[in-house]
Structure 1
Amino acid sequence: MGRTHRIGVIGLGVISGVYLKTLREVDDIVVAAVADLDPSRAEAVAATLPEARALSVEQLLAAPDVDLVLNLTVPAAHAEIAEAAIAQGKSVYGEKPLAADLEAGRRVIAAAERAGVRVGCAPDSVLGVGIQTARALVDDGSIGRPIAATAVMATPGHERWHPNPDFYYLPGGGPLLDMGPYYLTALVHLLGPVRSVIGAGSRLRAERVIGTGDRAGERIGVQVDSHMTGVLEHTSGAMSTLVMSFDAVATSAAPIEVHGEKGSLLVPDPNRFDGTCSLRLLGEDGWREIPPRAGIVGASRGVGLVDLLRAGTERRFRADGTLALHVLEAMTALLESAATGRRVKLASTAERPVPLTLLAGIDELTAAR
């Protein structure tokens, strides 16, 4: 593992606590600085970390002792913060999506290539035992040649639980750009990159009511489609059907199903790291659960960042910005198709990340794996 990696965190909202818990458990990572638009929040978080100091965003970006910026800002700021960090010669790992729009995502990746720094991006939940076990079953031919997949996420909306849900209903949000990265990233891991899409979308209502916290009862506007459906054509020839909704009450469908000529596979929630896969082969009467075969046991958000740091120059890290850009293009192509009624071809592609063996924990995630 070698040298200590010094991280600066920008954006200290709800999700930051999960990342910080993961990073505290890794011996060769130190959180050196934190920043937030609310200085008091930065001070409070810094007080919980042994070597961190609270800085302004500008101070953190310029800090010479910060090697990599963990970008946990709202989607609309993802590209701006990433480009500013890259301009300071720092690598970046960010929350999904890579950017709020495709052109901004392309700028981030191009800037990193020019500067010789790395860009990683969530989701890294695909590195847990759920998706990695499914990947192992697809790769070893358990279901035969993959033919099709379905991916379904249905919820009545995040305003029911999130105290500040505004960004979910602004450009860069919505069910597709918020939750879609988990499902599309998993589908690329399982079936390979996407070459074209067809999409359709709708908006159930123009306002949402915050259901919890200090702003409970406040109405917020909806600027994006709150229900999206689409078909993805993978370069492998497989077809995926996608439903992402902030309008539906619930679903009994498996989060992801993959169908092959020899069998079908139920895949657990790609928003989680764990979960059990179930397999049913042609001629069998029922589903059977498959014990974990691959992935990081007990993983949580932040393992993709650890993988980036541990990979060094010896291998390509798995939560790669080029994969995130491909997923972003697939999502924006679905939005374009929904707006125009036309099938949209993608310009980008991405390699399926190197699969994981079964690892007992994050400590086993080294350059050799």
Structure 2
Amino acid sequence: MSRTTSPASRAGRARPYRRGRDGEQVMSKLGVGIVGCGNISTIYMQNMPKFRDLNLVACADLRPEAAQAQAEKFGIEALTIDALLARSDIQIVVNLTTPESHFAISHAALAANKHVFGEKPITIEANDAATLVAEAADRGLKIGCAPDTFLGGGGRTARELVDAGRIGKVLYGTCFLMSHGMEHWHPDPTFFFKRGGGPILDMGPYYLAALINLLGPVALVQGRASAGFATRLVTSKGPMNGKIIAVETPTTVMSLLHFESGADIIFAMSWDVWKHAHPPIELYGTEGSLRVPDPNFFGGAVQYTEKGGDWISVAADDRPFGKPNWRSPNWADHMPNQANYRCLGVAELASAVLRCTPHRSSGALASHALEVKHAILKASVEGGEIAVRSRVERPAPLSELDAMVLWAGETF
């Protein structure tokens, strides 16, 4: 176990309690423990101190050296998983493990009476996701899941335009995620090509959450799935460089989604494409069209048309959680910075606990999206049309004021 106790790290920690009107102690921050200290954990740990309601306490990993490294870097404690779940000063467990561990860790955290926020997908199996959502409800706990990107400036702008009727009733749309996989940048991309991986389970959540936020739940799906390449050569830097990964999951999935609202959306996810020119999401309504920015990030410009008119661009750079603030070290110099406020969903969950506000990036939304993805994969094997049994309400809009309440960092 290690703890950094430098003056800087102590000064950066706010007290977790405040005095209420009657002098009683009222919790003003929720303690957070992170399980899983891999690649994605760094952005969560960097962003967390900038959110008003969160106090990062500790981290854990099956690899003690990984937890130790992150603990020293961010001035927190490195614990075993069991010790982290037992800590009374941790109210939220953030599950950043690989997909095959998502259910076990989240279930254990709920059993320890902790709120849970996990990386996508919420679980590998749809039944397990439903079990977690039910378990949280039975215990009076919150369970949330990435992606939270639809709560960013770009996603909120698109939602406002749809809700205002700028493009009328949405009839049709297209949704594309296409690249040549993760092996050129991720230090260990193995799990992306194994059970629980593939573009539909790994990247599909971003696009489905954006679509559900705009259109509501999915009712019916059709699908086709395949793997374009039997193996992958790792070219990223690190110990996996030069190694071959056997592909054990579909790497191209094409589907047609029928939403309960009546909209039909072409939905295609592929890691078998070298280059393309498809926008991430386009929606076609009775009064115009809408282009939604990349749902993997929080900002970007939204474009819409008034019937057959020119595209009108609405930037989200000056909105909460829309300002570009990050770039990948793997990007070429010409690539622009992006808005990356990962941890927003954890803060939104904490606000729901502390203020009884709506919980938008919820486990219920993630569970519905996971059922949709499995229905697509099932349809790709069985053919025909598969009905999606679950339903979820569109998340409540996140207002500018509610967004600002979550933030304690620098001015946007």
Q: TM-score by structure 1 length?
A: 0.94
Counterpart Cα distance in 2 of 1:29 and 1:60: 16
Per the TM alignment, residue 334 of structure 1 is displaced from its structure 2 partner at its CA by: 0.4
Unpaired segments of 5 or more residues in structure 1? none
AA at the equivalent of 1:304? G
Q: Which of 334, 337, 347 is the aligned partner of 2:376?
A: 334
Query: In the aligned structure 1, how far is the partner of 2:394 from the partner of 2:39?
Result: 30
1:200 maps to 2:241: no
Paired letter, 1:137: L
Of 189, 209, 220, 1:185 maps to 209
Q: Output aligned runs, 1:205-216, within 5 Å.
A: 205-212=229-236, 213-216=238-241
Q: Is the partner of 1:242 in helix, strand or coil?
A: strand
Could you say what secondary structure the match of 1:92 adopts?
strand
Alignment-derived partner of residue 346 in structure 1: 388
Contact 2:52 2:405 in 1 (8 A): no
Q: 1:287 aligns with which of 311, 335, 341?
A: 311
Which residue number corresponds to residue 328 of structure 2? none
Maintained 8 Å contact 2:32/2:91? yes
1:275 corresponding residue in structure 2: 300
Give me the whole-angstrom Cα distance separating, in 1, the residues matched to 2:199 and 2:79: 33
Aligned-residue sequence identity (percent) comes to 38
Specify which of 345, 359, 365 is matched with residue 304 of structure 1.
Answer: 345
From the superposition, tell whether residues 21 and 113 of structure 1 become closer, same or farther in structure 2 (CA, over 3 Å). Answer: same
> In the alignment, residue 165 of structure 2 is paired with which amino acid?
G
Partner of 1:165: 189
Structure 2 counterpart SS, 1:113: helix
Shift of residue 247, structure 1, vs aligned partner: 0.3
CA contact (8 A) 1:129 1:358 kept: no
Report whether the alignment pairs 1:323 with 2:365: yes
Which of 165, 174, 189 lines up with 1:150 in the alignment?
Answer: 174
1:264: which partner in 2?
A: 289
Q: CA deviation at 1:342?
A: 2.2
2:268 equivalent in structure 1 = 243
Instruction: State how far apart, in whole Å, the 2-side matches of 1:265 and 1:138 are.
Output: 8
Task: Judge conservation of contact 2:51–2:406 (CA < 8 Å) in 1.
Answer: no
Output the CA distance in 2 between the equivalents of 1:304 and 1:288.
29
Kept after mapping to 2: 8 A contact 1:199/1:231? yes
Code of the aligned partner of 2:146 = A
Partner of 1:234: 259
Distance across 1 between alignment mates of 2:64 and 2:163 = 48
How far apart are the structure 2 equivalents of 1:141 and 1:123?
25
Q: Which residue identity is paired with 2:70?
A: V
Aligned mates of 1:24, 1:167 — CA distance in 2:
30
Indicate the residue corresponding to 1:174 in structure 2.
198
Which residue is equivalent to 1:55? 79
Native 8 Å contact 2:351 2:406 kept in 1:
no
Question: In the alignment, which of 91, 99, 107 is matched to residue 75 of structure 1?
Answer: 99
Q: Secondary structure at the match of 1:160?
A: coil
Which residue matches 1:141?
Answer: 165
CA contact under 8 A between 2:320 and 2:403: conserved in structure 1? Answer: no
More displaced 10-residue stretch of structure 1: 107-116 or 229-238 = 107-116
Gaps of 5+ in 2: 1-17, 19-26, 324-339
Q: Could you report, residue by residue, the CA deviation over 1:41-75 in whole angstroms, capped at 9, with x for unpaired residues?
A: 1112111333x211111221222221110000001
Maintained 8 Å contact 2:171/2:284: yes
CA displacement at 1:364 relative to structure 2: 4.9
- Cα shift readout 1:160-208 (whole Å, capped 9, x = no counterpart): 1111001101111100000000001100011111011101111112211
Asked if the contact 2:348–2:406 (Cα under 8 Å) also holds between the matched residues in 1, the reply is no
Give 1:357's aligned residue: 399
Q: Does 1:12 align with 2:53?
A: no
Contact 1:130/1:273 (8 A) holds in 2: yes
How far does residue 232 in structure 1 lie from its aligned partner after superposition? 0.7
Q: Give the conservation status (yes or no) of the 8 Å contact 2:133–2:143.
A: yes
Taking the aligned partners of 1:364 and 1:68, their CA distance within structure 2 comes to 16
CA deviations on 1:281-318 (whole Å, 9 max, x unpaired) are: 2132x212123397633461000110110122623211
Amino acid at match of 2:116: V
Is the 2:44–2:342 contact (alpha carbons within 8 Å) kept by the matching residues of 1?
Answer: yes
Where 2:105 maps in the other structure, the secondary structure is helix
* Of 65, 68, 80, the match for 1:43: 68
Structural RMSD (CA): 1.8
TM-score (ref. length: structure 2): 0.85
How far residue 362 of structure 1 moved from its aligned partner, in angstroms, is 4.9
Report how far residue 357 of structure 1 moved: 2.6
